[in-house]
Protein backbone atom coordinates (compact mmCIF):
# COMPACT_ATOMS: atom_id res chain seq x y z
CA UNK A 1 0.00 0.00 0.00
CA UNK A 2 1.47 3.42 -0.94
CA UNK A 3 2.86 5.41 1.99
CA UNK A 4 0.69 8.43 1.12
CA UNK A 5 -2.47 6.43 1.94
CA UNK A 6 -1.05 5.40 5.22
CA UNK A 7 -0.14 8.99 5.99
CA UNK A 8 -3.66 10.04 5.05
CA UNK A 9 -5.22 7.55 7.45
CA UNK A 10 -2.85 8.67 10.20
CA UNK A 11 -3.67 12.34 9.53
CA UNK A 12 -7.37 11.59 9.82
CA UNK A 13 -6.98 9.32 12.85
CA UNK A 14 -3.91 10.49 14.80
CA UNK A 15 -4.61 7.96 17.55
CA UNK A 16 -4.26 5.01 15.15
CA UNK A 17 -0.72 3.64 15.54
CA UNK A 18 1.47 3.24 12.48
CA UNK A 19 0.90 -0.34 11.43
CA UNK A 20 1.18 -2.30 8.21
CA UNK A 21 -2.16 -2.30 6.34
CA UNK A 22 -1.07 -5.32 4.32
CA UNK A 23 -1.10 -7.31 7.55
CA UNK A 24 -4.58 -6.12 8.27
CA UNK A 25 -5.79 -7.42 4.91
CA UNK A 26 -4.01 -10.67 5.62
CA UNK A 27 -5.69 -10.88 8.98
CA UNK A 28 -9.07 -10.31 7.47
CA UNK A 29 -8.58 -12.97 4.84
CA UNK A 30 -6.66 -15.62 6.73
CA UNK A 31 -7.29 -14.91 10.39
CA UNK A 32 -4.94 -13.18 12.85
CA UNK A 33 -1.44 -14.38 13.62
CA UNK A 34 -0.40 -13.96 17.23
CA UNK A 35 2.16 -11.24 16.54
CA UNK A 36 -0.10 -8.99 14.46
CA UNK A 37 -2.78 -9.63 16.99
CA UNK A 38 -0.72 -8.30 19.83
CA UNK A 39 0.32 -5.20 17.94
CA UNK A 40 -3.19 -4.29 16.82
CA UNK A 41 -5.07 -5.34 19.93
CA UNK A 42 -6.83 -2.14 21.00
CA UNK A 43 -7.54 -0.43 17.64
CA UNK A 44 -7.55 -3.00 14.88
CA UNK A 45 -9.86 -5.52 16.44
CA UNK A 46 -13.00 -3.38 16.15
CA UNK A 47 -12.05 -2.64 12.52
CA UNK A 48 -11.44 -6.31 11.79
CA UNK A 49 -14.63 -7.40 13.45
CA UNK A 50 -16.69 -4.82 11.53
CA UNK A 51 -15.02 -5.97 8.26
CA UNK A 52 -15.86 -9.52 9.20
CA UNK A 53 -19.41 -8.62 10.09
CA UNK A 54 -19.80 -6.79 6.79
CA UNK A 55 -18.42 -9.71 4.78
CA UNK A 56 -20.53 -12.17 6.70
CA UNK A 57 -23.61 -10.06 6.11
CA UNK A 58 -22.90 -9.64 2.39
CA UNK A 59 -22.28 -13.36 2.07
CA UNK A 60 -25.50 -14.22 3.88
CA UNK A 61 -27.52 -11.78 1.78
CA UNK A 62 -26.07 -13.14 -1.47
CA UNK A 63 -26.72 -16.74 -0.48
CA UNK A 64 -30.20 -15.75 0.72
CA UNK A 65 -31.07 -14.10 -2.57
CA UNK A 66 -29.71 -17.05 -4.56
CA UNK A 67 -31.62 -19.53 -2.42
CA UNK A 68 -34.80 -17.52 -2.75
CA UNK A 69 -34.41 -17.49 -6.56
CA UNK A 70 -33.85 -21.24 -6.67
CA UNK A 71 -36.83 -21.86 -4.38
CA UNK A 72 -39.26 -19.61 -6.21
CA UNK A 73 -41.65 -22.00 -7.90
CA UNK A 74 -43.39 -21.23 -11.17
CA UNK A 75 -47.09 -20.87 -10.40
CA UNK A 76 -49.63 -21.80 -13.08
CA UNK A 77 -53.40 -21.40 -12.74
CA UNK A 78 -55.35 -23.98 -14.76
CA UNK A 79 -59.11 -23.88 -15.23
CA UNK A 80 -60.40 -27.27 -16.38
CA UNK A 81 -63.89 -27.78 -17.86
CA UNK A 82 -64.92 -30.66 -15.61
CA UNK A 83 -64.80 -34.45 -15.71
CA UNK A 84 -67.38 -35.21 -18.41
CA UNK A 85 -65.49 -37.94 -20.26
CA UNK A 86 -62.66 -40.45 -20.21
CA UNK A 87 -60.77 -38.01 -22.44
CA UNK A 88 -61.11 -35.22 -19.87
CA UNK A 89 -59.98 -37.43 -16.99
CA UNK A 90 -56.86 -38.41 -18.94
CA UNK A 91 -56.24 -34.76 -19.83
CA UNK A 92 -56.46 -33.65 -16.18
CA UNK A 93 -54.15 -36.45 -15.11
CA UNK A 94 -51.60 -35.51 -17.80
CA UNK A 95 -51.58 -31.85 -16.68
CA UNK A 96 -51.38 -32.59 -12.94
CA UNK A 97 -48.67 -35.21 -13.23
CA UNK A 98 -46.53 -33.12 -15.58
CA UNK A 99 -46.73 -30.09 -13.25
CA UNK A 100 -45.69 -32.26 -10.30
CA UNK A 101 -42.83 -33.78 -12.30
CA UNK A 102 -41.47 -30.33 -13.15
CA UNK A 103 -41.92 -28.88 -9.66
CA UNK A 104 -44.46 -26.35 -10.92
CA UNK A 105 -47.10 -25.17 -8.46
CA UNK A 106 -50.43 -25.84 -10.16
CA UNK A 107 -53.56 -24.06 -9.01
CA UNK A 108 -56.21 -26.35 -10.50
CA UNK A 109 -59.89 -25.39 -10.67
CA UNK A 110 -62.69 -27.66 -11.92
CA UNK A 111 -65.51 -25.61 -13.50
CA UNK A 112 -68.12 -28.39 -13.50
CA UNK A 113 -69.00 -27.62 -17.16
CA UNK A 114 -69.94 -24.00 -16.41
CA UNK A 115 -68.44 -20.99 -18.15
CA UNK A 116 -69.25 -18.68 -15.20
CA UNK A 117 -67.19 -20.93 -12.91
CA UNK A 118 -64.31 -20.73 -15.35
CA UNK A 119 -64.49 -16.93 -15.46
CA UNK A 120 -64.49 -16.82 -11.64
CA UNK A 121 -61.45 -19.10 -11.53
CA UNK A 122 -59.59 -16.97 -14.09
CA UNK A 123 -60.25 -13.83 -12.03
CA UNK A 124 -59.03 -15.52 -8.88
CA UNK A 125 -55.79 -16.52 -10.68
CA UNK A 126 -55.30 -12.83 -11.53
CA UNK A 127 -55.90 -11.87 -7.89
CA UNK A 128 -53.37 -14.46 -6.77
CA UNK A 129 -50.80 -13.13 -9.27
CA UNK A 130 -49.93 -16.46 -10.89
CA UNK A 131 -47.11 -16.51 -13.49
CA UNK A 132 -49.16 -18.04 -16.33
CA UNK A 133 -52.86 -18.83 -16.79
CA UNK A 134 -53.97 -21.83 -18.86
CA UNK A 135 -57.50 -23.00 -19.47
CA UNK A 136 -59.66 -25.26 -21.55
CA UNK A 137 -62.64 -23.09 -22.54
CA UNK A 138 -65.95 -24.97 -22.29
CA UNK A 139 -67.46 -22.89 -25.13
CA UNK A 140 -65.88 -20.68 -27.80
CA UNK A 141 -67.52 -17.31 -27.13
CA UNK A 142 -67.85 -14.90 -24.20
CA UNK A 143 -64.19 -14.66 -23.16
CA UNK A 144 -63.19 -11.23 -24.45
CA UNK A 145 -63.67 -9.18 -21.28
CA UNK A 146 -62.01 -11.59 -18.83
CA UNK A 147 -59.12 -12.10 -21.26
CA UNK A 148 -58.67 -8.33 -21.44
CA UNK A 149 -58.53 -8.18 -17.62
CA UNK A 150 -55.84 -10.86 -17.63
CA UNK A 151 -53.89 -9.01 -20.30
CA UNK A 152 -54.05 -5.77 -18.29
CA UNK A 153 -52.63 -7.69 -15.32
CA UNK A 154 -49.72 -8.72 -17.58
CA UNK A 155 -50.33 -12.48 -17.20
CA UNK A 156 -49.76 -14.63 -20.31
CA UNK A 157 -52.55 -17.04 -21.33
CA UNK A 158 -52.26 -20.49 -22.92
CA UNK A 159 -55.36 -22.11 -24.40
CA UNK A 160 -55.35 -25.82 -23.72
CA UNK A 161 -57.35 -28.30 -25.85
CA UNK A 162 -60.16 -25.95 -26.97
CA UNK A 163 -59.99 -22.64 -28.80
CA UNK A 164 -61.86 -19.37 -28.20
CA UNK A 165 -63.50 -17.12 -30.79
CA UNK A 166 -61.83 -13.72 -30.29
CA UNK A 167 -60.89 -11.15 -32.91
CA UNK A 168 -57.94 -9.85 -30.88
CA UNK A 169 -55.44 -12.70 -31.07
CA UNK A 170 -53.09 -10.91 -28.67
CA UNK A 171 -55.43 -11.97 -25.83
CA UNK A 172 -53.63 -15.32 -25.68
CA UNK A 173 -50.11 -16.46 -26.45
CA UNK A 174 -50.75 -19.87 -27.96
CA UNK A 175 -53.37 -22.58 -28.45
CA UNK A 176 -52.32 -26.20 -27.93
CA UNK A 177 -54.90 -28.66 -29.16
CA UNK A 178 -56.17 -30.98 -31.83
CA UNK A 179 -57.50 -30.16 -35.27
CA UNK A 180 -61.18 -30.94 -34.61
CA UNK A 181 -62.29 -30.15 -38.19
CA UNK A 182 -59.83 -32.75 -39.46
CA UNK A 183 -61.14 -35.27 -36.91
CA UNK A 184 -64.67 -34.74 -38.26
CA UNK A 185 -63.42 -35.25 -41.82
CA UNK A 186 -61.64 -38.46 -40.84
CA UNK A 187 -64.78 -39.85 -39.20
CA UNK A 188 -66.83 -39.10 -42.34
CA UNK A 189 -64.21 -40.52 -44.71
CA UNK A 190 -64.14 -43.74 -42.71
CA UNK A 191 -67.94 -43.97 -42.72
CA UNK A 192 -68.10 -43.28 -46.47
CA UNK A 193 -65.74 -46.17 -47.07
CA UNK A 194 -67.43 -48.55 -44.61
CA UNK A 195 -70.98 -47.81 -45.88
CA UNK A 196 -70.14 -47.64 -49.56
CA UNK A 197 -71.21 -43.99 -49.57
CA UNK A 198 -74.79 -44.76 -48.44
CA UNK A 199 -75.89 -43.97 -44.90
CA UNK A 200 -78.79 -42.60 -42.84
CA UNK A 201 -76.83 -41.10 -40.00
CA UNK A 202 -77.75 -40.25 -36.41
CA UNK A 203 -75.41 -37.68 -34.91
CA UNK A 204 -74.60 -37.23 -31.22
CA UNK A 205 -73.26 -33.71 -30.95
CA UNK A 206 -70.87 -32.56 -28.20
CA UNK A 207 -71.46 -29.64 -25.82
CA UNK A 208 -73.33 -26.91 -27.77
CA UNK A 209 -71.05 -23.97 -28.58
CA UNK A 210 -67.84 -25.86 -27.80
CA UNK A 211 -64.97 -25.83 -30.29
CA UNK A 212 -64.88 -29.63 -30.77
CA UNK A 213 -68.66 -29.84 -31.32
CA UNK A 214 -68.65 -26.99 -33.84
CA UNK A 215 -65.54 -28.13 -35.69
CA UNK A 216 -66.19 -31.87 -35.76
CA UNK A 217 -69.63 -31.24 -37.24
CA UNK A 218 -68.12 -28.87 -39.78
CA UNK A 219 -65.44 -31.35 -40.91
CA UNK A 220 -67.93 -34.24 -41.05
CA UNK A 221 -70.47 -32.28 -43.12
CA UNK A 222 -67.77 -30.99 -45.45
CA UNK A 223 -66.97 -34.59 -46.48
CA UNK A 224 -70.67 -35.59 -46.66
CA UNK A 225 -71.13 -33.03 -49.42
CA UNK A 226 -69.13 -35.36 -51.68
CA UNK A 227 -71.56 -38.23 -50.95
CA UNK A 228 -75.16 -37.39 -51.88
CA UNK A 229 -76.44 -40.69 -50.42
CA UNK A 230 -75.04 -40.01 -46.98
CA UNK A 231 -77.39 -37.90 -44.87
CA UNK A 232 -77.69 -36.88 -41.24
CA UNK A 233 -81.31 -37.69 -40.36
CA UNK A 234 -81.15 -37.13 -36.58
CA UNK A 235 -78.90 -34.77 -34.66
CA UNK A 236 -78.90 -33.77 -30.99
CA UNK A 237 -76.43 -32.90 -28.26
CA UNK A 238 -75.38 -35.55 -25.76
CA UNK A 239 -73.08 -33.05 -24.00
CA UNK A 240 -70.02 -35.32 -24.38
CA UNK A 241 -71.26 -37.62 -21.57
CA UNK A 242 -72.09 -41.30 -21.56
CA UNK A 243 -75.37 -40.77 -19.68
CA UNK A 244 -76.60 -38.10 -22.09
CA UNK A 245 -75.41 -40.14 -25.09
CA UNK A 246 -77.51 -43.07 -23.90
CA UNK A 247 -80.54 -40.90 -23.19
CA UNK A 248 -80.49 -39.20 -26.60
CA UNK A 249 -79.90 -42.50 -28.44
CA UNK A 250 -82.99 -43.90 -26.66
CA UNK A 251 -85.09 -41.05 -28.05
CA UNK A 252 -83.59 -41.58 -31.54
CA UNK A 253 -84.54 -45.25 -31.35
CA UNK A 254 -88.12 -44.35 -30.42
CA UNK A 255 -88.48 -41.72 -33.14
CA UNK A 256 -90.39 -42.31 -36.42
CA UNK A 257 -87.03 -42.43 -38.30
CA UNK A 258 -85.63 -45.14 -35.96
CA UNK A 259 -85.83 -47.95 -38.55
CA UNK A 260 -83.86 -45.99 -41.15
CA UNK A 261 -80.86 -45.24 -38.94
CA UNK A 262 -77.92 -47.40 -40.06
CA UNK A 263 -75.00 -45.27 -38.90
CA UNK A 264 -74.06 -43.25 -35.84
CA UNK A 265 -71.53 -40.45 -35.66
CA UNK A 266 -70.78 -39.56 -32.02
CA UNK A 267 -68.58 -36.52 -31.36
CA UNK A 268 -66.83 -38.48 -28.60
CA UNK A 269 -66.36 -42.08 -27.45
CA UNK A 270 -68.27 -41.65 -24.18
CA UNK A 271 -71.49 -40.72 -26.01
CA UNK A 272 -70.95 -43.67 -28.38
CA UNK A 273 -70.52 -46.02 -25.40
CA UNK A 274 -73.76 -44.71 -23.88
CA UNK A 275 -75.50 -45.13 -27.25
CA UNK A 276 -74.23 -48.73 -27.51
CA UNK A 277 -75.97 -49.50 -24.21
CA UNK A 278 -79.19 -47.89 -25.47
CA UNK A 279 -79.03 -49.98 -28.67
CA UNK A 280 -78.47 -53.22 -26.79
CA UNK A 281 -81.40 -52.48 -24.47
CA UNK A 282 -83.57 -51.80 -27.53
CA UNK A 283 -82.51 -55.07 -29.21
CA UNK A 284 -80.41 -53.33 -31.89
CA UNK A 285 -76.93 -54.76 -32.60
CA UNK A 286 -74.33 -51.98 -32.23
CA UNK A 287 -71.56 -52.21 -34.80
CA UNK A 288 -73.71 -54.42 -37.06
CA UNK A 289 -77.25 -53.05 -37.45
CA UNK A 290 -75.82 -49.60 -36.89
CA UNK A 291 -72.24 -48.72 -37.90
CA UNK A 292 -70.65 -46.55 -35.22
CA UNK A 293 -67.79 -44.08 -35.56
CA UNK A 294 -66.70 -41.79 -32.75
CA UNK A 295 -63.77 -39.64 -31.70
CA UNK A 296 -61.15 -39.69 -28.88
CA UNK A 297 -59.63 -43.19 -28.79
CA UNK A 298 -60.13 -43.87 -25.08
CA UNK A 299 -59.54 -47.35 -23.68
CA UNK A 300 -63.31 -48.04 -23.42
CA UNK A 301 -63.63 -47.43 -27.18
CA UNK A 302 -60.87 -49.93 -27.94
CA UNK A 303 -62.55 -52.49 -25.68
CA UNK A 304 -65.87 -51.92 -27.45
CA UNK A 305 -64.14 -52.32 -30.83
CA UNK A 306 -62.43 -55.52 -29.68
CA UNK A 307 -65.93 -56.76 -28.67
CA UNK A 308 -67.26 -55.86 -32.15
CA UNK A 309 -69.66 -53.17 -30.87
CA UNK A 310 -67.91 -50.01 -32.07
CA UNK A 311 -66.51 -49.81 -35.58
CA UNK A 312 -64.02 -46.97 -35.59
CA UNK A 313 -62.50 -44.32 -33.36
CA UNK A 314 -60.64 -41.26 -34.57
CA UNK A 315 -57.87 -40.41 -32.17
CA UNK A 316 -57.83 -37.16 -30.21
CA UNK A 317 -54.86 -37.13 -27.87
CA UNK A 318 -55.54 -35.73 -24.36
CA UNK A 319 -51.98 -36.14 -23.07
CA UNK A 320 -50.97 -32.55 -23.62
CA UNK A 321 -49.43 -31.82 -20.18
CA UNK A 322 -45.82 -31.94 -21.48
CA UNK A 323 -46.58 -29.60 -24.39
CA UNK A 324 -48.49 -27.25 -22.08
CA UNK A 325 -45.62 -26.84 -19.64
CA UNK A 326 -43.06 -26.60 -22.46
CA UNK A 327 -45.09 -23.59 -23.60
CA UNK A 328 -45.13 -22.16 -20.05
CA UNK A 329 -41.34 -22.50 -19.83
CA UNK A 330 -40.86 -20.92 -23.25
CA UNK A 331 -43.11 -17.99 -22.33
CA UNK A 332 -41.25 -17.35 -19.09
CA UNK A 333 -37.95 -17.55 -21.01
CA UNK A 334 -39.38 -14.83 -23.30
CA UNK A 335 -39.26 -17.07 -26.39
CA UNK A 336 -41.65 -16.57 -29.30
CA UNK A 337 -44.25 -19.31 -29.70
CA UNK A 338 -46.37 -20.43 -32.63
CA UNK A 339 -49.98 -19.28 -32.29
CA UNK A 340 -51.13 -22.86 -32.79
CA UNK A 341 -49.60 -26.21 -31.83
CA UNK A 342 -51.38 -29.26 -33.22
CA UNK A 343 -51.26 -32.74 -31.70
CA UNK A 344 -50.42 -35.85 -33.82
CA UNK A 345 -53.30 -38.36 -34.10
CA UNK A 346 -54.48 -41.49 -35.95
CA UNK A 347 -57.63 -43.42 -36.97
CA UNK A 348 -58.25 -46.97 -35.62
CA UNK A 349 -60.62 -49.68 -36.87
CA UNK A 350 -61.96 -52.84 -35.19
CA UNK A 351 -59.30 -55.01 -36.83
CA UNK A 352 -56.54 -53.02 -35.09
CA UNK A 353 -58.20 -52.86 -31.65
CA UNK A 354 -56.79 -55.98 -29.97
CA UNK A 355 -53.20 -55.22 -31.04
CA UNK A 356 -53.43 -51.54 -30.07
CA UNK A 357 -55.15 -52.05 -26.68
CA UNK A 358 -51.95 -52.74 -24.66
CA UNK A 359 -50.39 -49.53 -26.05
CA UNK A 360 -53.22 -47.23 -25.01
CA UNK A 361 -52.21 -44.80 -22.31
CA UNK A 362 -55.70 -43.41 -21.72
O1 LIG B 1 -63.34 -35.04 -27.36
C2 LIG B 1 -64.44 -34.97 -25.27
C3 LIG B 1 -64.24 -34.05 -24.13
O4 LIG B 1 -62.31 -30.96 -25.89
C5 LIG B 1 -61.29 -32.55 -27.27
O6 LIG B 1 -63.94 -32.82 -24.74
C7 LIG B 1 -62.06 -32.30 -26.05
C8 LIG B 1 -63.35 -33.06 -25.99
C9 LIG B 1 -63.25 -34.56 -26.08
O10 LIG B 1 -65.17 -34.06 -23.19
O11 LIG B 1 -64.46 -36.30 -24.92
**d(Cα 137, Cα 115) in Å, to the nearest integer?**
8
Strand order, beta sheet including 75-80: 105-110, 75-80, 132-135, 157-160, 174-176, 340-341
- Atom number, ligand 1, closest to the C-alpha of residue 136: 4
Tally the C-alpha atoms within 13 A of residue 136's C-alpha that lie toward its C-beta: 26
- CA neighbor of 74 nearest in space, from 325, 323, 319, 320: 325
**pLDDT mean across residues, the chain:** 87
Averaging pLDDT over each range in 16-20, 25-29, 54-58, which range is the top one?
54-58
Range name among 3-7, 133-137, 144-148 with the lowest pLDDT average: 3-7
**d(Cα 275, Cα 101) in Å, to the nearest integer?**
38
180-316: CATH number: 3.40.50.2300
92-101 pLDDT, tens digit each: 999 999 999 9
**d(Cα 322, Cα 233) in Å, to the nearest integer?**
41
Select the more confidently predicted residue: 17 or 268: 268
Tell me how far the alpha carbon of residue 70 lies from the centroid of ligand 1, in angstroms. Answer: 37
Domain ranges within the chain, ordered by starting residue? 3-71, 75-178+319-342, 180-316
**d(Cα 224, Cα 192) in Å, to the nearest integer?**
8
Tell me how far the alpha carbon of residue 240 lies from the centroid of ligand 1, in angstroms. Answer: 7
- CA neighbor of 198 nearest in space, from 223, 230, 220, 237: 230
What are the CA-CA distances from residue 209 to residues 5, 97, 142, 216, 242 (Å)? Answer: 81, 29, 11, 12, 19
Tell me how far the alpha carbon of residue 316 lies from the centroid of ligand 1, in angstroms. Answer: 8
Range name among 55-64, 130-139, 151-160, 300-309 with the lowest pLDDT average: 55-64
Q: What is the mean pLDDT of residues 27-31?
A: 37
DSSP symbol at 287: T
The DSSP result for 312-332, as a single string, is: EEEE-----HHHHHHHHHHHH
**180-316 matches 75-178+319-342 in CATH topology:** yes
pTM of this prediction exceeds 0.85? no
Tell me how far the alpha carbon of residue 28 lies from the centroid of ligand 1, in angstroms. Answer: 68
**d(Cα 358, Cα 302) in Å, to the nearest integer?**
10
- Atom number, ligand 1, closest to the C-alpha of residue 86: 11
Please state which CATH class domain 75-178+319-342 belongs to: alpha beta
Nearest CA to ligand 1 atom 8: 212
In this predicted structure, what is the pLDDT of residue 184?
98
Per-residue confidence band for 48, with pLDDT thresholds at 50, 70 and 90? low
Amino acid sequence: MPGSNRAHVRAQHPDVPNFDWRSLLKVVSTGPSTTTCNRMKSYQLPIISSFKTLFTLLFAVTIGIAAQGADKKIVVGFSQIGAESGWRTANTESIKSEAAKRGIELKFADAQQKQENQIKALRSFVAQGVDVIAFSPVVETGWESVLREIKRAGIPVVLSDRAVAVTDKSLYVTFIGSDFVEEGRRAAEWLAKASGGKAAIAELVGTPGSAPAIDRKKGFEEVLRKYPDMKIIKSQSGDFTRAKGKEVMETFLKSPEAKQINALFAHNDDMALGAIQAMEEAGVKPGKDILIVSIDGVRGAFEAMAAGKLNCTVECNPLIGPQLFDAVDAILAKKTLLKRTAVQEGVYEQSQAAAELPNRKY
